[in-house]
Amino acid sequence: MQLPFMTWAESEAQIRKDPLVIVPIGSTEQHGPNGLIGTDALNAEAVAIAVGKATEAMVGPVVAIGMAQHHLAFSGSITLRPSTMIAFISDYVFSLARHGVRKFFFINGHGGNIAPLSAAFSEIYATASLDPSGQVPRVRCVQHNWYDQKSVRAYAAQAFGDRDGSHATAAEVSLTQHLFPDSIRRVNMPPVAKAHRRFTDAIDLRSLHPDGRIGSEPSLATPAHGKALFEAALADLSPALRAFRDEP
């Protein structure tokens, strides 16, 4: 049940029944030598659609551009500044709140989004928190990173050990390969070097991680691993959504 593929009358009926929406959010940024620039958005959207199907929940349009300032030294990366993301997510949420949606279940595919998305939630909540009249509609927002689900972590640990890494990971590249087998790239790459500290801005990240991998060996990625990871994510996120839906 994807909102873009519904009519307004169907949306109205669905929200009346279940005032909840899943929002996939990813990023458009470099993913190392063999990862696709759209990895984070493609993965988040696919997982979200599957979770929506499994739980009969409505899925909103994917937020395909995230907070990726740190990847801007690599071609193709696009960022929203955090202040832009706050405005964007606020408009998204308040628009659907206008139609009666009260719960927003974000499925996130990109670590760089966690903080600004959380900041956006606080900016949204502050409207009600600062309002003494009690007239502002109140909403509830949560974010879940598909790659951080317990089952996903467990599978990745078993499959890749400490070579999964933290960006352009073997796990996320596997998932994209499973979803888009026609877009698999075969690229030779040397063993990744471990960085001794965390990056700051884009130039800094590239100087520490010259080919875009952060501690990862995405050459280990396979579509089969991707399929397993996809199912693991679905297995954890579906009950999480149902629990969120059932909250009073």
Q: Does 166 bind a copy of itself (CB under 8 A)?
A: no
What binding mask, one character per residue, do residues 224-243 give for a copy of itself by CB under 8 A, x or -? --------------------
Residue of 25, 59, 70, 172 that binds a copy of itself (CB under 8 A): 70
**Block residue for tokens 């929940």:** 57
d(CA 69, CA 84): 12
Task: Tell me if 181 contacts a copy of itself by CB under 8 A.
Answer: no
**Number of C-beta neighbours around residue 183 at 10 A:** 11
Among 24, 44, 51, 60, binds a copy of itself (CB under 8 A): 60
Interface residue with a copy of itself, options 1, 11, 167, 178 (CB under 8 A): 11
Question: Which residue from 140, 150, 194, 242 is in contact with a copy of itself, where contact means CB under 8 A?
Answer: 140
| Residue closest to 89 by CA, chosen among 74, 108, 75, 73 | 108
Residue 51: which of 128, 177, 142, 132 has the closest Cα? 142
The number of beta carbons lying within 10 Å of the beta carbon of residue 176 is 26
Stretches 77-85, 152-160, 223-231, 233-241: which one binds a copy of itself (CB under 8 A)? 77-85
**Contact with a copy of itself (CB under 8 A) among 17, 56, 61, 162:** 61
Residue 201 binds a copy of itself, judged by CB under 8 A = yes
Please report how close the Cβ of residue 218 comes to a copy of itself at its closest, in angstroms: 11
**Residue 138 or 194 having the CB closest to a copy of itself:** 138
CB of 67 to a copy of itself, least distance (A): 6
180 near a copy of itself, judged by CB under 8 A: yes
Q: How far apart are CA 97 and CA 138, in angstroms?
A: 8
Cα separation, 180 vs 28, whole angstroms: 16
Residues 98-117 that bind a copy of itself (CB under 8 A): 98-100, 112, 114-116
Stretch that binds a copy of itself, among 118-126, 149-157, 219-227, 230-238 (CB under 8 A): 118-126
Measured from the CB of residue 223, what is the shortest distance to a copy of itself in angstroms? 15
Residue nearer to a copy of itself on the CB measure, 117 or 234: 117
